[in-house]
Amino acid sequence: MLEADVVIGANLGDEGKGLFTDYLSSRHDTPIIIRYNGGAQAGHTVETPDGMRHVFSHFGSGSFAGGSTYLSRFFVVNPLLFLRELQTLESLHLKPLVMAAPDCPVTTPFDMMVNQIAEEARGNARHGSCGVGFGETIGRHEETAHHLRVQDLTTAALRSKLEDLRDIWLPARLLRLGIRKIPAVWIERLNAPALIEKFISACEAFLDQVTLCTLTDIGLRRQRLIFEGAQGLLLDQSHDWFPHVTRSYTGLRNVVELAEEVGVGQLNVNYATRSYLTRHGAGPLPFELPEKPYEKIIDLTNKPHPFQGTLRFAPLNFDLLTQSIMADMAHADSRLKVNARLAVSCMDQVDATALFINGGRRCNAPPLAMVNALLRRLGWRHCTLSYGPTRATIEADAKLNRQIYAL
């Protein structure tokens, strides 16, 4: 039976998905990391034991471990940001194989501009967007006739499609968002002669670097599949915290559909969380703290952002975590065997006494006792813990289970 690993963020993003994907990739020869949702707004940090570090966006987080990347049809491609990331990886002497579904939606500069103009106009009522046009791309792709997919980048009609996006779709979309007058600085950028030319060149370069194919075109029997998610379950587009969510399915829904297409019979699902809760951007954060809960917390990735602001903190919330995981597991097809486990990052950043929410109450316990209580709440026995930024700091399975259940 063909098996696959899955890494899903169980909270609001920034849970350690990159770290756990790198760890799982390192345990297999030539794995294929399937990006099953999201796009350029993803930022998955991986640091290797020998000191290499990168924040992965378009490329799978198993790239340092020798993995190749497959961008599924649920992934939104941004050729400009893909090339920028490729240049960074090449400076690290890394050039992973990348494959992409022909029907991946494509982000253009006009999607990014609408996104940023709208967030600026919202002021203090911002939705918490990254400003890279992900949600706008999905909306344009699903709701209008202005489709642009990876397979369209090869056609002679690309230029006219881009001109229509600039002249027809963009003003109509802004008007729908309540923006009747485009700020002068944005009009100047929109009408810059080089804007479309630069994007067409980026599309040509993207196609030179990527192999277009369906997932079923790839010979999978000898390669491990690792589905890498973006964002977290509390940011799923079906979650009731709209509009402070992402326009994608962040959990098993897309994974199950892709897995069944290639005959996967078993999913080993890793639900990732930090040992505390974070949110980068606007939106609900129950039990939010005025500052970081532990002095040892260091985050080199989530710097203050012009659209998302600064990183916010709360205690690890068993209630939210359990509810979101159980709701997500309901999407698993009965024909698939699903083995679920917890993956907790940043255990090294917690004090001797950890703070968490259980049953609506603030609780305190030693870190491993907190994990033990969460496992009991979930009804699980398997857990993976990370005590640092690299795969070398991860403890899993038998050794860990003895530690936890001896408490």
Q: pLDDT-derived band of residue 406, with 50, 70 and 90 as boundaries?
A: low
Q: pLDDT-derived band of residue 307, with 50, 70 and 90 as boundaries?
A: low
Q: Which amino acid is at 65?
A: A
**Pairing of β 225-228 and β 32-35:** parallel
Domains in the chain (CATH in brackets) are: 2-100+213-405 (3.40.440.10), 109-211 (1.10.300)
Q: Give the closest residue to 6 by CA, choosing from 254, 365, 192, 293.
A: 254
pLDDT in the model for residue 182: 85
For the entire predicted model, the pTM comes to: 0.93
pLDDT in the model for residue 126: 54
The whole-number average pLDDT for the span 374-379 is 95
- Count of other CB atoms within 10 angstroms of residue 363: 16
**Given the structure tokens 């892709």, which residue do they identify?**
258
Query: Are the C-beta atoms of 370 and 389 separated by less than 8 Å?
Result: no
pLDDT in the model for residue 325: 98
Instruction: Provide CB contacts within 8 A for 231, sequence distance 6+.
Output: 9, 12, 13, 37, 38, 41, 42, 246, 248, 250
pLDDT in the model for residue 51: 94
CA dist list (Å): 78 to 40, 97, 122, 379, 406 = 6, 17, 24, 40, 49
Supply angle C-alpha 312, 316, 318, rounded to 5: 135
How far the first Cα of the chain sits from its last, in Å, is 36
Question: Could you tell me which residues are beta bridge partners of residue 316?
Answer: 356
Is the model more confident about 345 or about 223?
A: 345
Q: pLDDT-derived band of residue 269, with 50, 70 and 90 as boundaries?
A: very high
Q: pLDDT-derived band of residue 184, with 50, 70 and 90 as boundaries?
A: confident
Instruction: Provide CB contacts within 8 A for 344, sequence distance 6+.
Output: 16, 272, 273, 274, 275, 371, 383, 384, 385, 386
Predicted confidence (pLDDT) per residue in 46-86, tens digit: 999 999 999 999 999 999 999 999 999 999 999 999 999 99
**Given the structure tokens 């980026």, which residue do they identify?**
202
| For residue 304, cis peptide bond before it (omega within 30 degrees of 0) | no
Question: Could you tell me which residues are beta bridge partners of residue 361?
Answer: 358
Q: Is the pLDDT of residue 399 over 80?
A: no
Written in H, E and C, the secondary structure of 342-353 is EEEECHHHCCCC
Q: Which amino acid is at 349?
A: Q
3-class SS of residue 298: coil
What counts of helices (H) and strands (E) characterise the chain? 12, 17
Q: Give the closest residue to 69 by CA, choosing from 46, 98, 95.
A: 98
Q: Is the pLDDT of residue 303 over 70?
A: no
Dihedral angle sign, alpha carbons of residues 45, 375, 283, 248? positive
